[in-house]
Chains A and B, each alone.
Chain A
């Protein structure tokens, strides 16, 4: 079984300040982990993914996430927020090879990021 918990439903930051969106996961298998972003009236866009290579993963638009197995966390960060980052962010887990539900994504509940001028 696998699950994802996003610790904040809403995060509000000022433009130019750091962003931290928190995610904890649970998985019976070595997981693949993803962050997706959804802008208003748009589809889900892949930001970055972790698949058991480097624990620090760099994604698009300056975002990165660090896989910490000991803490079962995969927090998303960005050094300096931009107005265009305002969106909803989803932490997602999938069992990697060996899982019986390989390919089935489990989503967190989402974090809405608001960026103030």
Chain B
């Protein structure tokens, strides 16, 4: 069964460093998403992406964040200058229609 994959599973970085989180969505899906879950809090929507542009973004998704689909298979989330409060589990998701999203296993980002 096709699945969404994410790498790395765990990323440790120093505050102020740039990180790129990688996702490979399900191959025939057209809609892509990033969510995050800070420890002990709800899963929060960050951004949705369709047709090579952002469809919607949350207030969390400020200028420090960017997304890109650099080729036909990858979907990345970049954080330019990480802060301590960016420490969270980041989930990538994809869907072929807008109502059912399939999630990857997540990348745990730890900012020191």
**Which residues on A are within 8 Å of B, measured CB to CB?**
32, 34, 36, 41-46, 49, 51, 90, 94, 96-97, 101-110
Cβ–Cβ contact B105 & A102, under 8 A: no
The residues of A that contact B93 with a CB separation of less than 8 Å are 44
Q: Which chain A residue shows the least CB distance to B4? A: A43
Q: Which chain A residue shows the least CB distance to B50? A: A103
Tell me whether chain B's interface is mostly helix, strand or loop, or mixed: strand
Most chain A CB within 10 A, of B91, B99, B104, is at: B99
Interface size class of B (residues with CB under 8 A): 20 to 34
CB within 8 Å: A-B pair count = 56
**Which residues on B are within 8 Å of A, measured CB to CB?**
4, 6, 31, 33, 35, 41-45, 48, 55-56, 91, 93, 95, 98-106
Cβ–Cβ contact A103 & B102, under 8 A: no
The residues of B that contact A43 with a CB separation of less than 8 Å are 4, 6, 91, 103-106
Tell me whether chain A's interface is mostly helix, strand or loop, or mixed: loop
